[in-house]
Amino acid sequence: MPDPIHAPRYTRDTWPIAAAMIQYPNILPDGRSVQDQAPEDWAATLADIVDAGFTELDPTDAWLRIADLAPARLDAFMGVVKGLGLTIPAISTARKNLIDPERGSEMVAYAHRVIDTAAGIGARSVSLGLFGGLTEAQKKALWFWTVQGESNPDDPDSYALAVARVRELGRHAEDVGIEIALEMYEDTYIGTADGTVRFVTDVGLPNVGINADLGNLIRLHRPVEHWLRMVEKTMPFARYWHVKNYMRTEDEATGLVVTAPTSLELGLINYRTAIRLALSYGFNSPFLCEHYGGDGISVSATNRNYLRTLLPRAPEAKP
C-alpha cells in the first residue's frame, strides 16, 4: 500500500489544493437529498468547481457522503469527477463526533467506511473530528461560531475513549495507506494547540496528525491563543490542512471581540509564515480551501491562487 507519510514531494504546480463543498447543502429545496441525485445533477453542481479553476475536490460529507453510496452509485460519481477533469486527494467528515453519546459507535463505523472509500478512489487523506452538529441556537445565528455549541465531556474516561477510537481508525488507515488529520475545533479535546498536540501524542501513530484549521479558533468571540503560538505548536504534526482566514478585532478595555471571514492573505493568520514553518517540518499533504459567506467558491479560488505562490517551485524552476 502507498505510504502517505513518504509520498513524492509536491511543488507549487503539483500540490493538491481541493475545493470544499460547504456551500452546497445535502438537502435540496424540494426536499430531496443530494445522495439521491442523478449523476448529471452532481455534474451540474461540480461544474461550479471546474469554472472556478479547481482541479481537485473534497466532496465534504455535509454535501455528499460518498462512503454511503452503493458501489454502482460511487462508480457513477467518480465517473462524473473524472469526466470533469477533477481528482479527490482527500475526504473530510463534518460534525461526525466520534464520541457522540448516542451515535458515537455509528460515527466510528462510518469513519471506517470513509477510510476504505478514500483508499478505493485513490485519495490519501481523511479528516475526522470530535465536534457534533449545530445547536438550534447556532442554526439561527448569522454566524454559528458566535453562539456556544456542544463540548466534549470533561472526564478521563471519555478522553480515553476518544483516543482509543482514533487509534483504532488510525491503524485501519495505516493498513490501507491513508493519513488521518484531526480537525481542530473549539471545546473538543482537539480544541486548543496544547490539547491537540497532547491528543495526537497519546494516539501515537505516525499517520495520525493535525488538521490545523486555526480559522475555527480565531473566529471565536472569546479570548484565544495567539495564532503564531498555535502554528508553532501544531506544525510538527500537520497533515491534511483546511485553510481559511478571518479578520479579528479585540477591544482590551471592554473585552469586545468581533470577527468576520476574509481571504487568506487579508486575515489575522499570516499563512506565508505558517506554511513556511510547516514546510520546514516536512509538510507534504493536500490543502482544502473553504470559506463562509458570500461566494465561497470564488473566494476559495482566490485563496488557492495565493496559496500556490507560497509553495516551493520545482527544483529546476527559476523565479
| Domain ranges, ordered by start, for the chain | 4-310
pLDDT score recorded for residue 8: 77
Q: Quick one: angle between helices 193-203 and 227-234, nearest 10?
A: 10
Reported as a single tens digit per residue, the pLDDT across 44-92 is 999 999 999 999 999 999 999 999 999 999 999 999 999 999 999 999 9
The span from the CA of 206 to the CA of 208, in Å, is 6
The span from the CA of 268 to the CA of 230, in Å, is 13
Residues 6+ apart with CB under 8 A from 8: none
**Cα dihedral: 192, 193, 195, 199 (round 10):** 130
Closest CA to 58 of 13, 96, 93, 15: 93
Q: Taking 70 as the threshold, does the pLDDT of residue 4 lie above it?
A: no
Instruction: Tell me what percent of the chain is helix, strand and coil, each rounded to the nearest 5.
Output: 40, 15, 45
pLDDT score recorded for residue 113: 98
Cell 458515537 appears where?
A: 104
Q: Taking 80 as the threshold, does the pLDDT of residue 2 lie above it?
A: no
Closest CA to 244 of 196, 288, 285: 288
Contact predicate 158/126, CB 8 Å: no
pLDDT score recorded for residue 1: 39
Q: State the average pLDDT over residues 190-211.
A: 98
The span from the CA of 3 to the CA of 178, in Å, is 7
pLDDT score recorded for residue 318: 59
The span from the CA of 231 to the CA of 273, in Å, is 9
DSSP secondary structure code for residue 135 in this structure? P
The span from the CA of 297 to the CA of 303, in Å, is 10
Reported as a single tens digit per residue, the pLDDT across 250-298 is 999 999 999 999 999 999 999 999 999 999 999 999 999 999 999 999 9
- Residue 122: which H helix or E strand, with range? none
Reported as a single tens digit per residue, the pLDDT across 9-21 is 999 999 999 999 9
Rounded to two decimals, what is the model's pTM?
0.95
Contact predicate 188/131, CB 8 Å: yes
Pick the CATH number of 4-310 from 3.40.50.720, 2.30.30.360, 3.40.50.300, 3.20.20.150: 3.20.20.150
Q: State the average pLDDT over residues 174-199.
A: 98
Percent of the chain with pLDDT over 90: 95
pLDDT score recorded for residue 314: 84
Q: Taking 50 as the threshold, does the pLDDT of residue 97 lie above it?
A: yes
